[in-house]
Structure 1
Amino acid sequence: MTDNLTEGLDELARELDRDHVFHSWSAQANPSNLVIASGRGSRVWDHSGREYLDFSSQLVNVNIGHQHPSVVQAIREQAELLTTVAPSTVNLARGEAAKRVVERAPSGFRKVFFTNGGADANENAIRMARLHTGRDKVLSTYRSYHGNTGAAIVSTGDWRRIPNEFARGHVHFFGPYLYRSEFWATTPEQESERALQHLRRVIEAEGPSSIAAVLLETIPGTAGILVPPPGYLAGVRELCDRHGILLILDEVMAGFGRTGRWFAFDGYDVRPDLITFAKGVNSGYVPVGGVIISDPIAATFDDRVFPGGLTYSGHPLAMASIVAALDAMASEGIVDNAREIGATVIGPALAELAERHAAIGEVRGEGVFWAIELVADPATREPLPAAATGRLKSALVERGLLPFVQDNRIHVVPPCVVTADEVADAMVIYDDVLRTALEGEG
């Protein structure tokens, strides 16, 4: 293609988007001008060939990288065989996908209910918990995001819950976040102990016999990549067991390699009752999610109808993409790469970055799941203003890096296949942009 023709395709894409596409979580009068036409691995580009390092993994879901050939081929082959099938039928691709998923789960999980994404995975996990326990309330943290459907958005703790509070029976509490502790803690151990005491009191005040489940992101993602302190998740498990409350762990963002483990909870002393997933299981190549169900909860519905279903539950194209993605991740050592590069490359590089920039209040994370928390004042920890963060985001894109920016944070979340050289390139860009775009701040 000529330069004029390829640039014309970019402009056509923008024009069609402005005229006809209604975007999520956006004021529609301020459209994005960023065009993505294709990609490979950790890089994407527009029609004219301008390339970007994708350190957002789009929405923290492209774990296997863009356009992995074996996953693309599996989708193509499944499309030629059978493009769709009713969820009530038996289909080999669905069974193979479920088998791959439960092989990564703890013992005692043999069944998967497939959904269209993470929101309806959490929606159905909540439904299962309520029906299994005969109780109504669901407890979740204020710093959380669980999806944009009825119960999922009300389980969410951030601002997006407030205009959407139509579902019943949801109670929120504060989880651990030592850098901005709600509990006046000064050590991870204190933060864990005091956060657990806070949850204990919320459970007591709400009435334990009214609570069906505690729903937690194993590591809250959009809320700030808040790695739980020692003993916290085990303590939540103990509180749930004491009162007959189910524990639902939301692994939609943190699961399938993101933390350098198949599931984030594999790094903690905890076993949930229900596990929700989506995003990373097939890197978002085809919309899919699901609930991994522990055997006692699955048995509840052996002779009792589960009152939930989706037309596209276990869609063949999505199932084929799961099988191919999980097989490739295992055979190519992709989860190991995420763990190794996080520990030996990303973590140390971000620590060095923090030493050079007073605007970095804290760096935290693991695997390919990190956050840079930006402050206007290191002493008071006042968050960097939104205008300054917006300038950073624009400058990063201009320099050829796609960031995931949320509130006063830059989330460093490349695909699990990212290389050390790509991380080094990204760190140069972060360093330069933090130096130039924040002159006069703080």
Structure 2
Amino acid sequence: MEQYTVPGYTSVDEAKAVAARAYELDRKHVFHSWAAQGSFKPMVVTAAEGSYVWDGNGDKLLDFSSQLVNTNIGHQHPKVVQAIVEQAQRITTIAPHHVNDQRSEAARLISERTPGDLNQVFFTNSGAEAVEHAIRMARVHTGRNKVLSRYRSYHGATALAINVTGDPRRWANDRGTEGAVHFFGPFLYRSAFHSTNEAEEEQRALEHLEQVIELEGPATIAALILETVPGGPGIIPPPPGYLRGVRELCTKHGIVMIADEVMCGFGRTGRWFAIDEFDTVPDLLTFAKGVNSGYVPLGGVAIAPHIAATFNDRPYPGGLTYSGHPLACAAAVATINAMSDDGVVDNARIIGETVIEPALREMAQRHSSVGDLRGRGVFWAVELVENQSTKAPLAPYAGTSQAMVEMMAECKRLGMLPLMVSNRIHIAPPCTITADEAREGLEILDQVLKIADSYAT
């Protein structure tokens, strides 16, 4: 692979030396998440800029993963970096019970973009914490305990958030003690309802959900949480009327509806929030990741007035030392303003509609391993199968396979960093990606799919 000057280093050799030392110390002292420590061989990242990162060998890789689908504004955006620097020169940290101008401004900017009248914000440090607090608000507001969440979902790794998660990352942590009840959401390609079209899938999924609510007892259910567009479990946009149907069921039974927009919010689907496409307003909305592209950890809950009113005369029973941290909020203010000024949300939509989707549709016609394509904006999944008729996945659910391992290696060799989950390749570049950069990554994907085809029948 061609080598380049690595940003921030005088030479590639210097970058390699720093990377070697970092890797040595990492393997001695760093305990990594979601990994068996003994066999884990993480990639060193020595630099990042725009849509690219540089690995420990000095090789430049197109970041088609946005790391963990969070660098929505790209790496090292100068306006955001400068905002962090300027805020650090004024106030680096302040307790959450004081007023800070960046926190106030961030809350205003977020409230202007959330759907409906969700105009108050509780800040957290992550998406998982946002989910924890949203559920806590719902439980206090309703006086109920149970929480409904769908299978094929991910809501975080803290104790409650991992229990309401609906994918296998939950299993090792689930003791059945958090009041979580799971249901099937709509997913036509692997329908739990034997549907043959999207309209059937929507209707049957809503009928199933209503039955779960009735059998669990509506008066026992505090909240229903669902990712507007489930991300980690497969990027599965819902049918057009599904979320409105969920909203109606929640309203009917006094259940708080929580929209998890941690991954799909802030431009990822080509809208400020994915739920904007579906003409639905939840009671609570969780966010993180794209709110400031992860430059400084930040998350939060956007709150409807009737939920906020619960705490007008009673204290909210929760808080965080770093809630609304000024460095994180300064990064959020700069990110949101830059996204508005530069038309980043529209760019994500246009790139998705004019570059990514057409290219993927064309690839699907030529590659026997492609079973399904799903997505919006710069948020797509290519589901790979051994056989298009049987839909047998190219890797087991919650696992991997030799085919996927080979494809990951080939992507990196050709200069692209993908996000692979089970039998899927997720396409999630920064929302700022250019058409030429998107084509570059898609051309690499086209080459790599030949490996998948060799395993398909």
Q: How does 1:167-316 map to 2 (within 5 A)?
A: 167-316=177-326
> Displacement, 1:423?
1.2
CA contact (8 A) 1:395 1:437 kept: no
State the partner residue of 2:71: 62
**Matched AA of 2:230:** P
> Displacement, 1:440?
4.4
State the partner residue of 1:159: 168
Q: Is residue 392 of structure 2 the alignment partner of residue 392 of structure 1?
A: no
> Displacement, 1:424?
1.1
Q: How does 1:97-116 map to 2 (within 5 A)?
A: 97-116=106-125
1:427 alignment partner, one of 442, 446, 449: 442
Q: Is residue 94 of structure 2 the alignment partner of residue 85 of structure 1?
A: yes
**Residues in 2 aligned to 1:224 and 1:139: alpha-carbon distance in whole angstroms:** 19
Q: How does 1:1-150 map to 2 (within 5 A)?
A: 1-46=10-55, 48-150=57-159
Change (3 A) 1:38 1:5: closer
> Displacement, 1:161?
1.2
2:354 alignment partner, one of 335, 344, 364: 344
> Displacement, 1:2?
4.5
State the partner residue of 1:411: 426
> Displacement, 1:394?
1.7
SS where residue 385 of structure 2 aligns?
A: strand
CA contact (8 A) 2:155 2:162 kept: yes
**Matched AA of 2:82:** Q
Change (3 A) 1:324 1:356: same
SS where residue 428 of structure 1 aligns?
A: helix
CA contact (8 A) 1:218 1:250 kept: yes
**Matched AA of 1:37:** T
Deviations, residues 150-205 of structure 1 (Å, cap 9, x unaligned): 11110001112121124421100000000000000000000000000100100000
SS where residue 37 of structure 1 aligns?
A: strand
SS where residue 383 of structure 1 aligns?
A: coil
SS where residue 377 of structure 1 aligns?
A: coil
Change (3 A) 1:186 1:437: closer
Q: If the length of structure 2 is used for normalisation, what is the TM-score?
A: 0.95
> Displacement, 1:3?
4.5
> Displacement, 1:300?
0.5
CA contact (8 A) 2:131 2:161 kept: yes
CA contact (8 A) 1:102 1:111 kept: yes
> Displacement, 1:436?
3.8
> Displacement, 1:431?
1.1
**Residues in 1 aligned to 2:115 and 2:434: alpha-carbon distance in whole angstroms:** 30
CA contact (8 A) 2:270 2:377 kept: yes
CA contact (8 A) 2:385 2:456 kept: no
**Residues in 2 aligned to 1:437 and 1:173: alpha-carbon distance in whole angstroms:** 32
Question: How many aligned residue pairs are there?
Answer: 442
1:379 alignment partner, one of 381, 389, 393: 389
Q: If the length of structure 1 is used for normalisation, what is the TM-score?
A: 0.98
C-alpha RMSD of the superposition: 1.1
**Matched AA of 2:92:** T
**Residues in 1 aligned to 2:79 and 2:58: alpha-carbon distance in whole angstroms:** 24
**Residues in 2 aligned to 1:334 and 1:5: alpha-carbon distance in whole angstroms:** 34
Report which stretch shifted further, 260-269 or 390-399: 390-399
Percent sequence identity is 58
Change (3 A) 1:200 1:107: closer
> Displacement, 1:250?
0.1
Give the unaligned 5+ runs of structure 2. 1-9
Change (3 A) 1:299 1:354: same
Q: Is residue 363 of structure 2 the alignment partner of residue 353 of structure 1?
A: yes
**Residues in 1 aligned to 2:122 and 2:106: alpha-carbon distance in whole angstroms:** 11
Change (3 A) 1:118 1:33: closer
**Residues in 1 aligned to 2:171 and 2:42: alpha-carbon distance in whole angstroms:** 29
CA contact (8 A) 1:74 1:321 kept: yes
**Matched AA of 1:396:** C
Give the unaligned 5+ runs of structure 1. none
> Displacement, 1:353?
1.0
**Residues in 1 aligned to 2:95 and 2:359: alpha-carbon distance in whole angstroms:** 49
